[in-house]
Amino acid sequence: MHSSDKMLKPCPAEDVHFQMIQREKIISCPHACGEDKEKDLHMKHRDSNFSNMYSSELLPSRNGEKNTEQFLLEVVNILFSYIKKTYDGNSKVLDFHHPHQLLEGLEGFSLELPDQPESLEQILVDCRDTLKYGVKTGHPRYFNQLSTGLDIVGLAGEWLTATANTNMFTYEIAPVFIVMEKIILKKMHEIVGWGENEADGIFSPGGSISNLYSILVARYKRFPAVKTKGMAAIPRIALFVSEHSHYSTQKAAAVLGIGTDYVIAVKCDERGKMIPSELEARLQEAEKEGYIPFYVSATAGTTVFGAFDPLAHIADICEKHGLWMHVDAAWGGGLLLSKKHSFKLGGIERANSVTWNPHKMMGVPLQCSAFLVREKGLLESCNQQCAAYLFQSDKQYNVDFDTGDKAIQCGRHVDIFKLWLMWKAKGSCGFELQINRCMELAEYLYYKLKRRENFQLVQNTEPEHTNVCFWYIPASVKQIQLASERNRKLHKVAPKIKAMMMEEGTTMVSYQPYGDKVNFFRMVFSNPATRKSDVDFLVEEIERHGKDL
């Protein structure tokens, strides 16, 4: 697809201001239309020959409007064809290739960066190839992550966000988005159960950063000197999390200069819930050793088991010891929108801060993560550096709406619009329905596996979240008597099955070892497109690939 003679041509970009050649030839191009011709987006008959056209002929080029329209429509054509395939249960989830294959270039799909421009024709081919060799994360049989699905209204929101191309640091350049963030934060505060005016928050680039914010503000609240004098000026502090919590607390402790050694993992029960008496014991131990406990992160929806820590009990302990209580509800927060399931987060209203990722259970496109904190002004006093040259206080509007001083970032991506637009389109009740349905699928899978030969559930209790963890046990493994040998073999089963499923591209599901448990599959549901038939498919697919291992 690469024009072999491009080195001989003058650089087309040099035409950017003065190019006058408005191409009007009615030539249909064999490459860009290619395979998707019949699925064309009903647009005006294509009258641009992209193989001789360059990006310099798009806007802001003088005659670029028409070219731009045609080019963008061609792109949307490609995207819509991809969306249709995504939702077509019979299509593949992925077309797997190894990294070295992509590096070497597949069927003319070269990732190398040129000195000279390539034609818009090539750009369109590149777009198609990029999608072809990618993974359809919205596919009903894509179960690999906590974030799955492709919400159409959310997608439209992202397209608009990209077109608006602005930044969250000041009201003056993102007025609507800033106000939307304020309104959504307020709504989330209400849902969490906080009073109307006491709370604050910010949307951050993912749950790990939201969790980092929680430790950052908790530390600053207790030891404000840390901002200027650093950790050297404050006593040794310790954080407490459940042993099943997300590793981002460790990451944050390393970043914040606290040190991962001071993140104390509290034992969990069989279901993966933090044991309150163990928390009490660890707190006392730490104090005895001369550390100052200051922060507990309870998890509402653990990554692997989907467990909910007993929040109310943990809140009692935090209150008693005067500790900051954070709830990492990145995964479980969505359940707050369900009248049926929200009780699992009972006690969250007593937390000092909460992480809640709408890009997980609420199905919002990546990225969309909220950090909520139950004290107004704290985020700002913790993070502001009074850079008057960036955040002028003598503007014509109420500068309380500028958010730059609340963030650890300067520029901040607009993650709010897609969530706002989805909320408008679904209403709270639409989210509830969608979440309840995912919960029903988890229950369906759980009872299916309970009855099924060759499958073994990791936990024999009904799922609290949409996580269902299980082993597939081939006959060859089942017959091994010696437990250690049996485990050694079983450990290799899930990776092998997953590799085969990926090679065929039929489905994707996560696996992992955990503690003393060898590799097992972790199913999760967050995609509204998934049906029971897809669950059935997955189970059969595992059996098909696994039975002769």
Instruction: Between 415 and 464, name the residue whose CB sits nearer to a second copy.
Output: 415
Token readout for 262 is 């001071």
* Beta carbons within 8 Å of 173's beta carbon, 6+ residues apart: 166, 167
- The only residue of 60, 108, 195, 377 in contact with a second copy, by rule CB under 8 A: 60
Instruction: Determine if 524 is a binding residue for a second copy (CB under 8 A).
Output: no
**Binding mask 222-251 vs a second copy (x if CB under 8 A, - otherwise)?**
----xxxxxxxx--x---------xxx-xx
Instruction: Considering the complex, state which of residue 347 and residue 521 has its C-beta at the smaller distance from a second copy.
Output: 521
Residue 8 as a binder of a second copy (CB under 8 A): the answer is no
Q: What is the residue whose two structure tokens read 């050297």?
A: 232
Taking CB under 8 A as the rule, does residue 71 contact a second copy?
A: yes
Kindly state the smallest distance separating residue 240's Cβ from a second copy, in Å: 16
Q: Supply the minimum distance, in Å, between the C-beta of residue 315 and a second copy.
A: 26
Cα gap 339→343, rounded to integer Å: 8
Alpha helix locations (H) across 88-197? Answer: 99-104, 120-132, 152-164, 175-192
Q: For residue 435, give every residue at least 6 positions away whose Cβ sits within 8 Å of its Cβ, in sequence order, or none.
A: 334, 335, 337, 338, 341, 361, 362
Q: What tokens appear for 284 in the block?
A: 């006392």
Can you read off the two tokens belonging to residue 49? 């020959």
Report if residue 265 touches a second copy, rule: CB under 8 A: no
Instruction: For strands 353-356 and 369-373, give the pairing.
Output: antiparallel
Which CB atom, from 262 or from 444, has the smaller least distance to a second copy? 262
Contact by Cβ (8 Å): 109, 133: yes
Residue 73 makes CB contacts below 8 A (sequence gap 6+) with: 41, 43
> Is residue 189 a contact residue for a second copy (CB under 8 A)?
no
Question: Does 514 contact a second copy by CB under 8 A?
Answer: yes
Check binding of 428 to a second copy (CB under 8 A). yes
Choose between 143 and 455: whose C-beta lies nearer to a second copy: 143
Whether residue 60 is preceded by a cis peptide bond, meaning omega within 30 degrees of 0, is: yes
Contact call for residue 513 and a second copy (CB under 8 A):
yes
Determine, following the binding rule CB under 8 A, whether residue 397 of this chain makes contact with a second copy.
Answer: yes
- Chain centre distance of CA 212: 16
Told to check if 135 binds a second copy by CB under 8 A, we report yes
| Among 21-29, 108-116, 195-203, 307-315, the segment contacting a second copy (CB under 8 A) | 108-116
> Does position 44 bind a second copy by CB under 8 A?
yes
474 lies in the site for a second copy, by CB under 8 A: no
CB of 228 to a second copy, least distance (A): 5
Three-state SS at 12: helix
Residue 56 DSSP label: G
CA distance 247 to 497: 26
CA 50 centroid distance within chain: 35
| Least distance in angstroms from the C-beta of 312 to a second copy | 27
Question: Which CB atom, from 72 or from 320, has the smaller least distance to a second copy?
Answer: 72
The dihedral through the CA atoms of 383, 388, 391, 392 has a sign that is: positive
Question: Of residues 413, 448, 486, 544, which one binds a second copy by CB under 8 A?
Answer: 413
Q: Could you say which of 99, 107, 290, 483 contacts a second copy (CB under 8 A)?
A: 99
Residue 66 or 313 having the CB closest to a second copy: 66
* DSSP sequence for 412-460: ----SHHHHHHHHHHHHHHHHHHHHHHHHHHHHHHHHHHH-TTEEES--
Query: Would you count residue 1 as binding a second copy (CB under 8 A)?
Result: no
For residue 82, state whether it binds a second copy (rule: CB under 8 A): yes
* Run of H or E residues at 265: strand 263-266
Q: Does 126 bind a second copy (CB under 8 A)?
A: yes
546 makes contact with a second copy (CB under 8 A): no
Does 475 participate in binding a second copy (rule CB under 8 A)? Answer: no
Residue 208 binds a second copy (CB under 8 A)? yes
Which lies closer to a second copy via its Cβ, residue 130 or residue 277?
A: 130
In order of 28, 37, 65, 195, 313, the CA distances from 69 in angstroms are 16, 18, 6, 48, 59
Which region among 25-33, 312-320, 414-422, 438-446 touches a second copy (by CB under 8 A)? Answer: 414-422
Binding status of residue 113 toward a second copy by CB under 8 A? yes
Binder among 270, 287, 462, 503 for a second copy (CB under 8 A): 503
Beta-sheet strands, E only, within 317-414: 324-328, 353-356, 369-373
Closer of 166 and 454 to a second copy (Cβ): 166
- The bridge status of strand 468-472 relative to strand 508-514 is unpaired
- In the complex, what is the shortest distance from the CB of residue 279 to a second copy, in angstroms, rounded to a whole number? 21
User: By CB under 8 A, what part of segment 333-352 binds a second copy?
Assistant: none
For residue 131, CA distances in Å to 82, 95, 262, 367 come to 7, 10, 44, 19
Q: Does 499 bind a second copy (CB under 8 A)?
A: yes
408 binds a second copy (CB under 8 A): yes
Which 429-448 positions form the footprint of a second copy (CB under 8 A)? Answer: 429-430, 433-434, 437
Q: How far is the CB of 280 from a second copy (least distance, A)?
A: 24
Q: Per-residue x/- mask for a second copy, residues 168 to 187, rule CB under 8 A?
A: ---xxxxxxxxxx-xxx--x
Among positions 1, 27, 33, 59, the unique one binding a second copy when judged by CB under 8 A: 59
Residues contacting 263, CB < 8 A, separation 6+? 238, 239, 240, 241, 249, 250, 253
Q: Cβ(306)–Cβ(465) under 8 Å?
A: yes
Our finding on whether 75 is near a second copy (CB under 8 A) is yes
* 80 touching a second copy, by CB under 8 A: yes
Radius of gyration of the chain (CA): 26
Q: Is 112 in the site for a second copy (CB under 8 A)?
A: yes
Helix, strand, or coil (residue 203): strand
Q: What's the token pair of residue 92?
A: 């593949």
How many residues contact a second copy, by CB under 8 A?
179
